[in-house]
Structure 1
Amino acid sequence: MMQRIAYSSEVKWKCVKMKAEGFSTREIMDELNIRNRTQVNTWWRWYKNNETHRFDQNVGKQYSYGKGTEELSEIEQLKLDNKRKAAEIDVPKKVQGVGKELVPEIVVSLVESLKNEHPLSLILSTLEVARSTYYRWKKQSDRAKDEITIKIGELCKKYNYTYGYRKICYLLNKQTKQRVNHKRVQRIMQKNKWNCRVRVKKKTRIGRPYHLTDNLLKGDFKSDQPLTKLVTDITYLPFGNTMLYLSSIMDLHNGEIVAFTIGDVQDTNFVLDTLNQLNIPKGCMLHSDQGSVYTSREYYLACKEKGIIRSMSRKGTPSDNACIECFHSTLKSETFYLNSEQKNSNFIVKEIVSNYIKNYNENRIQQKLGYLSPVQYRIQAAL
């Protein structure tokens, strides 16, 4: 059985006005989104029989009561007038007008915010929007919302749930070529539990300064030129058959990993292999912690020969070397920790780390770099 539709009195008056001006029934139905042609004939018959009070009655009421607003009691009329005035006050003036001049998204959003305070028919009557038009707009809006949710889910899955809502919002707007608010993206991700899988925060332990080499970097992790400020560190890779270690060097200009070595022995030659991969200009600052390999004689002489200015973190203060520490933590979080049930050989561990660093440098966008990858940022800066 077809659901009955309630049309506003404004639609009914406009219908009879168009009928009197000579418009055909089909033209009136198309213009006012009227579903049934008998509805037009009924309103025209009421108009000719001077029964226009029926225009103000709800669906079915005219047959059971046989009276309109003209026959209501004074108290009922006042209550009805008060409801209409309240709705007109709540509905912003800027969106009032003829139905075709309204923006569908604004109408749907406005009705959703007011439907708990006022009857739907009263809101639509104030906006001069037919009920059928509203439901058609609402259906289109719901369909658009579903499409956006699907696209957000695809992006989150594509990047293995390692991107936050800001990066997902940027990629979504770039992909769809439309403006979606980042707060909306955040709500959708939270609702569907697509949040970025963040690592566990560690408490910073502030130790006493130890002056083997001064902390010349002093927490200034910004650099205007490539290869002027570098940071280095070693991290454990306990994910294979035996313990492995990763030594890496990051350029603070764009966060790019410019050199790295994976080995099973953590000694001075291990960090020298990483250092010797670079042709570092003289006067470049290289920051590290106070590990024994970085305070060794061999490492000191190698840096002196290359004209490198050494800088070291305070003892027991990882935050002094936060950038490279954060990178190592992110690497583990987005690879091995997401697949902790897998058992890997040393060869596979090395391959996973090498592929991740390559992808990190060439493809992984960063908000601080204007949503570019480190390599893209370096190339653009050189132009």
Structure 2
Amino acid sequence: MGILQGAGGLFKKAVSKSIGGVLAQTAKYEIIEELRSRYKVTWLVVIAQLNRSSYYKWRSTCTQRQLRLSKDHTLREQIQAIHIKHKEYGYPRMKIALLEAGFLVNHKKVCRLMRELQIQSIIRKKRRFFNGKSSKVFPNVVEQQFRNRKPNEVLVTDITYLSFKDKFLYFSVVQDIYNNEIVAWKLSHRNDLQLVLKTLDLAAQKRDVYGTIIHSDQGFQYTSHAYYRTLQQLGAIGSHSRKGNCHDNACIESFFSHFKSEMFYLNYYQTKEGLIQAIETYIYHYNYKRFQKRLNHRAPIEYRISMAA
């Protein structure tokens, strides 16, 4: 009887502290949970004026809730770890990264957890384009047909500028539109013909470009006689975008946009050598690790190998 009085005293104390002198069911369940190691549950539910089955149902639900909270905590930690490495990931790519890490999670939940953590992907700036006249140097044989191509069938090339210590560096790239793989790249202080020819030469060392379409815009380097002769010597087929129309070279424009938002704008580089090392790391990541929706959520080289098998 003394035991019952002791337990009853705890309930009365809780009632006295409650609002309006009424103890909520959840509070009763929590008191029973606290006392169940000292008193029989059968006695406690009688004192609390509860059904025993209701208490056990609450306890089961509570356990599930705690398990869910624990899983959510683990997911949050994993999302934060992925975000540290890949600040460019939005919730669709975060969902895939979690799946690769062994977490099968609904995209809505990933979105909710990222929102709670105040994590969002970097939004790339959209460029404005305008139509121009067709190229007069090489016909545009690509004509924005970027899909359903074969490996090495079409290579695209372009240059973008990078602001570096109150001056500009120029980043020249050759890309295979079959799988968006970066084939070759060069970085230079000068935006000149030699930069283009060196990048093209490096691509030719890595690939047999005989019969390959090499597409570019109508920049002065790509319309020069030296560039024309180089393509002839390599046996490559030249192709130019319409003047002033970046849609005709959209693949490589997209790469430059990702490169800048995912790497270049996120860091400060003390030296040109440090920047070159960072570019090498990013290109490796882009080719081998960075999965793309268009490639069935595979990285470029992984996609090429899987399709060749």
Q: TM-score, normalised by structure 1?
A: 0.65
Please show how residues 320-331 of structure 1 align to structure 2 within 5 Å: 320-331=248-259
User: Whole-Å Cα distance in 2 between the matches of residues 189 and 139 of structure 1?
Assistant: 20
1:151 to 78, 81, 86: 78
Residues 41 and 355 of structure 1, relative CA distance in 2, 3 Å threshold = closer
Residues 214 and 129 of structure 1, relative CA distance in 2, 3 Å threshold = farther
How far the C-alpha of 1:215 sits from its partner, in A, is 1.8
User: Whole-Å Cα distance in 2 between the matches of residues 268 and 360 of structure 1?
Assistant: 27
SS state of the match for residue 348, structure 1? helix
How far the C-alpha of 1:241 sits from its partner, in A, is 6.3
Q: Structure 2: which 5+ runs fail to align?
A: 1-9, 15-22, 27-35
The aligned counterpart of 1:253 is 178
User: Whole-Å Cα distance in 2 between the matches of residues 215 and 129 of structure 1?
Assistant: 73
SS state of the match for residue 145, structure 2? coil
Please show how residues 355-366 of structure 1 align to structure 2 within 5 Å: 355-366=281-292
Question: Contact 2:269–2:275 at 8 Å: present in 1 too?
Answer: no
Question: Contact 1:219–1:320 at 8 Å: present in 2 too?
Answer: yes
Work out which of the two has the higher radius of gyration on C-alpha atoms and give 1 or 2: 1
User: Whole-Å Cα distance in 1 between the matches of residues 67 and 228 of structure 2?
Assistant: 67
Moved more, 139-148 or 207-216: 207-216
Residues 41 and 347 of structure 1, relative CA distance in 2, 3 Å threshold = closer
For 1:202, give the aligned amino acid.
Answer: R
Question: Contact 1:257–1:361 at 8 Å: present in 2 too?
Answer: yes
Question: Contact 1:223–1:252 at 8 Å: present in 2 too?
Answer: no
Q: Deviations over 1:137-192 (max 9, x none)?
A: 21222221221122111111122x1122122111212212x421112112211232
The aligned counterpart of 1:282 is 210
Q: Deviations over 1:80-106 (max 9, x none)?
A: xxxxxxxxxxxxxxxxxxxxxxxxxxx
SS state of the match for residue 101, structure 2? helix
Residues 251 and 343 of structure 1, relative CA distance in 2, 3 Å threshold = closer
2:134 to 209, 213, 230: 209
User: Whole-Å Cα distance in 2 between the matches of residues 140 and 175 of structure 1?
Assistant: 20
The reply on whether 1:304 has 2:229 as its aligned counterpart is no
For 2:187, give the aligned amino acid.
Answer: I
RMSD, aligned CA: 2.9
User: Whole-Å Cα distance in 1 between the matches of residues 105 and 281 of structure 2?
Assistant: 32
For 1:40, give the aligned amino acid.
Answer: T
User: Whole-Å Cα distance in 2 between the matches of residues 196 and 6 of structure 1?
Assistant: 43
The aligned counterpart of 1:349 is 275
How far the C-alpha of 1:345 sits from its partner, in A, is 2.2
Please show how residues 47-58 of structure 1 align to structure 2 within 5 Å: none
SS state of the match for residue 130, structure 1? helix
How far the C-alpha of 1:316 sits from its partner, in A, is 1.2
Residues 132 and 209 of structure 1, relative CA distance in 2, 3 Å threshold = same
Runs of 4+ in 1 over 6 A off after TM superposition: 2-5
Please show how residues 254-273 of structure 1 align to structure 2 within 5 Å: 254-273=179-198
User: Whole-Å Cα distance in 1 between the matches of residues 43 and 260 of structure 2?
Assistant: 73
Q: Structure 1: which 5+ runs fail to align?
A: 8-33, 44-54, 62-120
User: Whole-Å Cα distance in 2 between the matches of residues 364 and 42 of structure 1?
Assistant: 58
The reply on whether 1:369 has 2:287 as its aligned counterpart is no
How far the C-alpha of 1:224 sits from its partner, in A, is 4.1
The reply on whether 1:40 has 2:17 as its aligned counterpart is no
How far the C-alpha of 1:223 sits from its partner, in A, is 4.3
The reply on whether 1:139 has 2:66 as its aligned counterpart is yes
User: Whole-Å Cα distance in 1 between the matches of residues 253 and 43 of structure 2?
Assistant: 77
User: Whole-Å Cα distance in 2 between the matches of residues 206 and 184 of structure 1?
Assistant: 42
How far the C-alpha of 1:41 sits from its partner, in A, is 5.2
1:182 to 107, 128, 150: 107
Question: Contact 1:207–1:317 at 8 Å: present in 2 too?
Answer: yes
How far the C-alpha of 1:252 sits from its partner, in A, is 1.0
Q: Deviations over 1:307-334 (max 9, x none)?
A: 2222111111112111111111221222
Residues 154 and 42 of structure 1, relative CA distance in 2, 3 Å threshold = closer
What is the aligned residue count? 278
SS state of the match for residue 164, structure 2? coil
Residues 354 and 42 of structure 1, relative CA distance in 2, 3 Å threshold = closer
The aligned counterpart of 2:93 is 167
Residues 287 and 227 of structure 1, relative CA distance in 2, 3 Å threshold = same
How far the C-alpha of 1:129 sits from its partner, in A, is 6.6
SS state of the match for residue 94, structure 2? helix
How far the C-alpha of 1:60 sits from its partner, in A, is 5.2
User: Whole-Å Cα distance in 2 between the matches of residues 290 and 370 of structure 1?
Assistant: 32
Q: Deviations over 1:5-57 (max 9, x none)?
A: 959xxxxxxxxxxxxxxxxxxxxxxxxxx7775452588xxxxxxxxxxx9xx
Residues 134 and 289 of structure 1, relative CA distance in 2, 3 Å threshold = same
How far the C-alpha of 1:348 sits from its partner, in A, is 2.1
